[in-house]
Every structure is written in structure tokens, then in C-alpha cells.
Structure 1
């Protein structure tokens, strides 16, 4: 997802070795990035996370990001990272997410170095981090292991996730990023703007209030059901939707962001509307025609909102500080949910 490690793993798309990503443009001496960095006032900053605490002594000027969403959070705050993780599942090894590339170009910023990540976080390109020479590494929504964290921390201060891999709420990621950059007030302003947009969408769709939903990815003989711990699910509750009780009742993840549900149990996944994520429109069409999936009550009733193709899926899985307003992302998903409920 944009589909980071987890959707890559679920979709089975991360098994292919890909060539090393090249720097999209020289970002080593980005004066503008330095100017956008936080004022020295308010430092040092201490961030608590799953691996302890990270002390950021001075306002960072060369930020690198890893995982999902922290690039966009930094850019929304006026800080343009000099190195960012590639998103192979979404756009391939040598490209930037469209909303990220647009933001750099509109600001006249040099495009960042793209850090190779063909396995969605399973391995970390330490040498590439060293070459990028960051003074801060942001990874608040990632799958870093303790060993990976310790190794990266030898290169620069690292901000990891608060509790568990890939489960940081979308708003907390923005808040953590802002705090690490010494821009906490600006972070709240970004969140206020996003909240206003979500409230406007909720008001435009009063039928969402109290409507239960489940989000899934179809596998081979099972579906992956996303739990409320997953940010793509949590954000939809801001629209008035409610996670179906059956999602919790069937949950075997032990606090994870998804669990696998066999086809034999699909009839138990009861929800007013189903949101299904797909790697292509062809897969989305095949999903609706698959006999086994008719056991899901919402599928049988035709109440399915689909999100197809990697870029679109990534834009809402979950949305980021830059993709909330992307026309093909959340606005389109909201329309799809409304259409499914109207059928």
C-alpha cells in the first residue's frame, strides 16, 4: 500500500528482487529544505516510541523517511525530506508517489533520493541511508524491527512507531512527525484542516452515521480482514461509519492490523457495506464474480465499495497528509461507499 509491507505481503507482490533505485535528483545541498526546517527554539525534543526514546538535539535539516506517510507529513509541514523509501507496489522502484512528486515540483524542491525497499521493509538499505547523510530518520508508521532500529540509530536519530508495526493512527503519525521537527503547532493546523474536510464529507453523507463496514483484501482461499488497529479502517470512522462487530468477533490477530478469514467462515463477516481493495480493475471485477465470496452478506446484497489499482489503493490505505484531497483517493472512496449504500 502505497501498500507498504503489509499489503505487499498480503498481495504477494514483494517477492521479486528489483534493481537499486537511483536518486531522482541531487538533493544533497537543498538550501530551501534547510530554510523550511524548524527553528532551533524548542529543541532538544524527546520522542517516546516502541524501542525507547529518541532525543533530537537540534532542528533537523536533512530528514530521511522510512515506511509510509511520514514523507507526506513532513512535506505538509514545509520540510522536504532528502531521502524517502520507495513504494514498489504502488509506483515501482524508480518513481515517487504522484502526490509527493507534485508537492516537490510545485515547491521547486530537488526531488529526494529514493531508498530501495523491494521487500516492503523486510530489509533496510543501510548504505543508502549513510550516503543520504540524514540528521533525522522518521519511521513512525513502518515495520522496523529492533535490530533495524538499532542499526539505523547509529546513522542518525530514529523516530519509530509508538506501539506496534504498521498500526500508528494516521493523525498520530502527522502529530509525531510535527513534534520531531519542532513544528507541533503547525502539525495541529494540518490536522485541523483535514478534520474539517472529513467533517464536511460526513455532513454530506448522513447515511454513513451508524452504518457498519468491513474492509478486506481477497487472498487464495481466505480474505484478509483489516482490524480497527489499521489506519485505513480507523480513518473511515471519522465519516460516521462504524466497524462491524463481526470484525472483532472473528479477529485472530492478537492486536494486529489484519487477520486471515477462511472462505468457510465468510458468512460470519456481517456488515452493512464491504470495502474491498484490489491490485487492478480486473481483480476487482473477478472478486464480484467469485462464487465463494457470495457467502459474505454484503457481497450477496451488492453493497460493495471497491478500490482498484495500486495508486488508488495506496492513496486511501491510509490517506496521508498529502493524499486526503487527491481526487482519485478519499473523495472517490466516499462516493463509492455512498453508491454501494444507495444500491
Structure 2
């Protein structure tokens, strides 16, 4: 569950270690045509290679059609699968996992297609550290991380293993649209990416049309941390708020007025300032039923006008939070994700 993500810390490996990793990677890469390389690809590339992608950490040239793709961060696994490429290695999800440590909707996609499950790349700190040796063992020919927290040093080290596509602007701020587009471009499947986006646009437009009452309503998306006496508020730079605005609601002006994030995806607001967080309703993310109950019992939160008015939409449970934080090319259709959130918003605004 990705309630908050710390900015990525510096990598631990030196340049010498990076060269060693690169040597190991070239020794372990499967030969062309091996089933391990081709069995996870279910669509043909439509773009011409080489492909060059510019991003915040450099310029990446992808010489040939990728066969063994690794993903890092959030959303790129689902974007690749939606484009017909099933990654051979994906980031661990320590909060939201299925039987094989995969997100439920990812696990379902692999099972439905009959594709071997990917290797799980250790990510116990939510992207702050990178398991370089595990990337080497997976032997990818492309690493896709458009919505991640890679530092320059981490990017440089990983680039000695395989070409890396990072975020276009700042860590953890890539829109869900750009995550899909960049992933599809890196795979040489831009047309497939365009179709994925068109299908999601249709889905969102349908939901918005079903709920005209959303128009002009304002929200504040928050995560309460009573142990610190703060509420984390998601800014307009956060992809989950961007997606919600596609449904017709708007991130409240008070969020921008209180924003101290300097362009990040969230900022912390002390309990003493909660009365300034004015909106028509609040969306609260809780990891468990116990955390949701603690939110309801926290009298300090009554200082938030929408909370006092009972206008709270609760997203409860790690799969549910992950499915909408932000949604991905696969989780957007998961019934307990966006569809359930839309229903809860309609119920709350209709009270």
C-alpha cells in the first residue's frame, strides 16, 4: 500500500560495483529464442527501433525490441501487461500481495494468460533502496520505472545492467497517463498504449456521466498519522488526485493554499491547522479496518470541516488503497478499486 513514499535515498553501490554488476548481467542473459525470453511476450512491437526516450535522469536508447522486461516502482507492470508484455521481474509489494507476492490484479492477469509468474525484486522500503543483484539475476534487457523514486546514482548503476526508463519530471509524480504512455513507448508498442488510454478514458467518462453530482464538488485526499499528530494531504501533483478530477470532482483550493511540498505529491499538515482544510468531502485512506476505526474515533480530525459534516469517503484495506493510489492500467477496472470508490463518493455526496 502506497500511502506515503519517502523520497529515494542515495544508492549504496560504487561505480566499481556497477561495472561488476554489468559484467554479471551480460554473462547471465539468456540466448535469443529461449522460452524464458519469448514466453512472456504476447504482442508484436509496432514501433521502429532504436527508440530514444528522454527523462529526468538522462536519455535512454533502446536498440532492439525488449524480450525480458523488468519493472520498478508503480504502474509500469500493469502498463506492460496491458500492452501485451509480461515482465520477467517486478517490484515487491510488501503491503498488497496475492499468493505469490503480486498485486491481485497482476496475479490474475498472469494466471489468465498462463504466463510464468515474474521474479519478485525486493523492495522493503518502498523504493528507497534498489536490489541491484536481483536485477542482475533477472537478466532484463529493459528496466521500466517511469513512476518511481530512482536517484541519479541508482539510475546510473541500473543502467549498467540494462537500459532504464525513469520519470519525466520528478520522483513519484508521473501521471497515470504518462506511466502507460512511456511504458508502451519503451516496449515499442505505442499504438497499444494509446488504446489502453482510450479504453480508460471511456471508462472514466462513463462513470462521470453516471454521476453528474460530482461536477464542481471539491475534495481533499488525506492519510492520518495520529502517532505524529499530522495529516498527509495529497497535492495536485499526485496522480491519484489527477485521476479523481477526471470524474468531475476538483482538488480543493485549500489544498493548494496550504501546500508546503515544493512540488511533491503530498505535504504534512499539523492537527493545529486542520480547520483550514476546507472541501466538500474528504477521501481517507486506511490500511485496515482498525485504522479506519481509529480515524473515525479521532476527535482531533473533527476540526476538518468535511469530517465534522460527515462527508468522508473511506478507502479501507491494502488492496483497495493500492488499487486507487493511483489506479493503473489493470487496477482501474478492479471492482473493489475505482468502481467501489465511485459508489462511495456518490453515497457520501448524496447524504
TM-score w.r.t. the length of structure 2 is 0.89
2:54 corresponding residue in structure 1: 48
Name the SS of the counterpart of 2:95 in structure 1.
helix
- Residue 322 (structure 2) pairs with residue 325 (structure 1): no
1:14 corresponding residue in structure 2: none
| CA deviations over 1:301-328 (Å, ceiling 9, x no partner) | 0000000111110000001000111000
Could you tell me how far apart the structure 2 residues matched to 1:34 and 1:167 are? 28
Structure 1's 296 and 28: CA in aligned 2 closer, same or farther, altered over 3 A? farther
Q: CA offset at residue 122 of structure 1? A: 1.1
Name the SS of the counterpart of 2:332 in structure 1.
coil
- Residue 196 (structure 2) pairs with residue 199 (structure 1): no
Q: Residue 37 of structure 1 contacts residue 79 of structure 1 at CA under 8 Å; is this kept in 2?
A: no
Q: CA offset at residue 93 of structure 1? A: 10
Structure 1's 110 and 92: CA in aligned 2 closer, same or farther, altered over 3 A? closer
2:140 corresponding residue in structure 1: 134
Q: Residue 85 of structure 1 contacts residue 114 of structure 1 at CA under 8 Å; is this kept in 2?
A: yes
1:19 corresponding residue in structure 2: none
Q: CA offset at residue 85 of structure 1? A: 0.3
Gaps of at least 5 residues in structure 1 are: 11-26
- Residue 251 (structure 2) pairs with residue 216 (structure 1): no
Which residue of 38, 42, 45 corresponds with 1:38?
Answer: 45
- Residue 296 (structure 2) pairs with residue 299 (structure 1): no
- Residue 258 (structure 2) pairs with residue 250 (structure 1): yes
2:282 corresponding residue in structure 1: 274
Matches for 1:1-343 after TM superposition, within 5 Å: 1=1, 3=2, 7=4, 29-34=36-41, 36=43, 38=45, 42-91=48-97, 95-219=101-225, 220-343=228-351
Q: Which runs of 4+ in 1 moved over 4 A?
A: none
| CA deviations over 1:17-58 (Å, ceiling 9, x no partner) | xxxxxxxxxx9715332453525x511111110011101011
Name the SS of the counterpart of 1:68 in structure 2.
coil
Q: CA offset at residue 289 of structure 1? A: 1.9
Structure 1's 312 and 274: CA in aligned 2 closer, same or farther, altered over 3 A? same
Q: Residue 83 of structure 1 contacts residue 115 of structure 1 at CA under 8 Å; is this kept in 2?
A: yes
Gaps of at least 5 residues in structure 2 are: 8-33
| CA deviations over 1:76-116 (Å, ceiling 9, x no partner) | 01000000000102228951101001000101100000001
**What value does the CA root-mean-square deviation take over the aligned residues?**
1.6
